[in-house]
Amino acid sequence: MKKQSYDLVGDIHGQALELEKLLEKLSYTKTDGVWKHTECKMIFLGDFVDRGKYQKEVINIVRPMIEQGHALSVMGNHEYNAIAYYTQDSDGNHLRSHNNKHTNQHKAFLSAYDNDSSEKEDVIEWFKTLPLWLDLDGIRVVHACWDFDLISKLGSSELTDDLLHQSAITGTWQNDAIETILKGKEIPLPDGYGFNDKDGNPRTHIRIKYWLKDAVTYQDYFMGPSDVLNDIPDIPVVGDYLLEYDSQDKPVFFGHYWMEGKIKPLTDNIACLDYSVAKPGGKLVSYRWDGEQRIDKDKFVFVDRG
């Protein structure tokens, strides 16, 4: 039987106008307020909110599509952060503290929703229904990192209340699982090494290009701004941190990584669709998948940020 075709769409971050342009470009039509396609379903890779001007407008496009069966989605770290920002533990502390850094990251969403608490509560409850990953017939989808061990340890892709509360506690395996799956794989630098990130915060871990097969050193694996590359040791990675994603495994799609430059797959069966539409010069990128094992460089479709 022919597999279901999907249009996978990268991180939107409040850029509703680009999303509508992309829907039109992919021949979706709006009927009774809902965008749909006769043969395809859409799969969103998460991060609907924060940054852009049109927070509610994005939710009002994607939510009816998902609720009426025209789209699927995974949860992004920004939806997870929003849930944790609004949820309190048994002592009344927010799971994600309301410090300046967190509040600042979240201000576009806050200003869109904070004058209507029932509407905000409703959208936060809806965020909780988004799965942490999708393992479908012929294809896999996750916001940042497909880690077989952590996914099998979690078992269910649902963000239950228990998982939400456990994952908010630093040092738990649930915290590691959510951080890795939604925010990317990180590895510790050897003792004595570190660097300052763009906000001046000292870092002793680096986010890695976990899909690389033949890279050797910390610099090779480093996923981050090139201006700190000189602070990353160019010595072989010590320890067993790297993930295997075999070329025979189903194609996996993720967002999250603020890619720039030419749109292309990372390997034959791995592609990132986040091309930084939230930044000037960025693009909103999609991929039309029709059952193929090998990701085709000619099947990406994008719109430029307006």
- Output the smallest distance, CB 143 to Mn ion, in A: 6
3-state secondary structure of 263: coil
Q: Choose one: 29-37, 41-49, 168-176, 206-214; the region binding Mn ion (CB under 5 A).
A: 41-49
Burial class (CB in 10 A: 0-12, 13-18, 19+), 89: exposed
- Residue 18 or 40 having the CB closest to Mn ion: 18
Instruction: Dig out the tokens for 112 from the structure.
Output: 């869109």
Which residue lies nearer to Mn ion by CB, 269 or 276?
Answer: 276
**69/83 Cα distance (integer angstroms):** 23
Of 256 and 305, nearer to Mn ion (C-beta) is: 256
Question: What's the rounded Cα separation, in Å, for the pair 66 and 167?
Answer: 26
Looking at beta carbons only, is 77 or 174 nearer to Mn ion? 77
Question: In this complex, which beta carbon is closest to Mn ion, that of residue 3 or of residue 107?
Answer: 107
Shortest Å, Cβ 127 to Mn ion: 14
Q: Give the dihedral sign, CA 28/139/215/180.
A: positive
Which of 76, 282 has the CB closer to Mn ion? 76
Stretch that binds Mn ion, among 33-41, 42-50, 198-206, 242-250 (CB under 5 A): 42-50
Q: How many residues bind Mn ion, per CB under 5 A?
A: 4
Told to check if 276 binds Mn ion by CB under 5 A, we report no
The yes or no reply on residue 180 touching Mn ion (CB under 5 A) is: no
Contact 73, 142 (CB under 8 A): no
**Cα–Cα distance between 22 and 217 in angstroms, integer?**
39
Smallest distance, Å, CB 115 to Mn ion?
26
Rg for the chain (alpha carbons), in Å?
19
Q: Which of 20, 47, 179, 186 binds Mn ion (CB under 5 A)?
A: 47
Interface stretch with Mn ion, choices 15-23, 46-54, 103-111, 192-200 (CB under 5 A): 46-54
> Which residue, 4 or 105, has its beta carbon nearer to Mn ion?
105
Nearest CA-CA partner of 253 in 273, 283, 282: 273
Candidate ranges 44-52, 121-129, 134-142, 297-305; the one touching Mn ion (CB under 5 A):
44-52
User: Which tokens sit at 76?
Assistant: 């992004």
- How far apart are CB 267 and Mn ion at their closest, in Å? 20
- Quick one: CA dihedral 156, 161, 167, 171, positive or negative? negative
Ranges within 208-267 binding Mn ion (CB under 5 A) = 256
Can you tell me the distance from the alpha carbon of 231 to that of 195, in angstroms, rounded to the nearest whole number?
6
Among residue numbers 69 through 128, which ones bind Mn ion (CB under 5 A)?
Answer: 76-77
Beta strand ranges found along 2-89 (DSSP E): 5-9, 29-31, 34-36, 40-44, 71-73
Helix (H, G, I), strand (E, B) or coil at 118: helix
The smaller minimum CB distance to Mn ion, of residues 36 and 180, is found at 180
> Rule CB under 5 A: which residues touch Mn ion?
47, 76-77, 256
